[in-house]
Structure 1
Amino acid sequence: MGSKQPVSVLVVIHAMDGQALLIERADKPGYWQSVTGSREGDESLRDTALRELAEETGLILERDDVRLSDWGIVNRYEIYPHWRHRYPDGVTHNDEHVFGLCLERPLAVTLAPREHLAQLWLPWDEAAAKVFSPSNAEALRLLPQKLAAATQA
């Protein structure tokens, strides 16, 4: 069994026009998702989000970059059986903390080739329909609300 922590982040990268970035998993072709990854050591959840953004997309942000926001959502879900070997024995559930990264416009990112095969910008509703994870789809469906709040701020 593995040593992966059952605490992760989901980072929805989106543009002001309502498009969201999806990346295709290398270990499961056809599985599209937002940036996601597990906490390492005792790093903060924000630091986990920043690290995963850099590793999976090449986007390097300062720690206090206001474009990255904690949405205050925690999803607890059962870990898919084909990924449980990454976690300690007996671990069956993960706590996923949702963040958003709002960019001015869609842009190409640099994928980690061992982790992801392709990238795609889609309108939020099409992105929500394409992702394999129900919690990822739910987060994407929040984009209109998040964008409306951002334009009123």
Structure 2
Amino acid sequence: MHKIPESVLVVIHTSELEVLLIERADKPGYWQSVTGSLDAVDEPLLATATRELFEETGIVADGATIVLQDWHLSNIYEIYPVWRHRYAPGVTHNTEHVFSVCVPRDVAVTLSPREHLNHVWLPYIEAADRCFSSSNAEAILQLPRHFP
């Protein structure tokens, strides 16, 4: 089954604008925020963001104390050739929808070992510098505009 070329990016941060980055298991040294594709073409973006946040970090967006914020911002980018085999033949671009979530600094982070090796909290500018994805880095740099 091919991946759907529509995904979410979830920037996890504290009120002090420290950002949680996770290191990919399939590409050690590649740091990123939570990302993931829709499971079905009709899956709501908020449902995808909620699911991916939990699957990749164990953090539950309960809608009360931990609330996902939809930035209503989409990026279209070229899929890295190393990952194109996951998509239908001829698919070269993905549409990524940006979300953020503010969490307490001491929130428990439980990584999916199949997907990620390590995590780190960094000030947002340092986090942006560490990301391998330019759209992820740009979203992190926009964080102060989306969090009062």
- Equivalences for residues 31-46 of structure 1 within 5 A: 31-41=30-40, 42-46=42-46
Aligned residue for 1:27? Answer: 26
Deviations 1:59-97 (A, max 9, x none): 1223x4462100111000000000000000110000000
Aligned residue for 1:14? Answer: 13
**Conserved 8 A contact 2:13-2:100:** yes
* Alignment TM-score, normalising by the size of structure 1: 0.91
Aligned residue for 1:4? Answer: 3
**Conserved 8 A contact 1:15-1:106:** no
Question: How far is the alpha carbon of 1:106 from its aligned partner?
Answer: 4.8
Amino acid at match of 1:4: K
Aligned residue for 2:77? Answer: 77
CA RMSD of aligned residues (A): 1.3
Question: How far is the alpha carbon of 1:43 from its aligned partner?
Answer: 1.1
* Alignment TM-score, normalising by the size of structure 2: 0.94
Name the CA distance, whole Å, in 1 between partners of 2:7 and 2:110.
21
For structure 1, which runs of at least 5 residues remain unmatched after alignment? none
| Residues matched between the structures, number | 146
Q: Tell me the secondary structure at the aligned position of residue 52 of structure 1.
A: helix
Moved beyond 4 Å, runs of 4+: none
Name the CA distance, whole Å, in 1 between partners of 2:61 and 2:130.
27
Name the CA distance, whole Å, in 2 between partners of 1:43 and 1:109.
25
Name the CA distance, whole Å, in 2 between partners of 1:119 and 1:38.
21
Question: How far is the alpha carbon of 1:145 from its aligned partner?
Answer: 1.9
**Identity of matched residues, %:** 60
Matched, 1:99 2:106: no
For structure 2, which runs of at least 5 residues remain unmatched after alignment? none
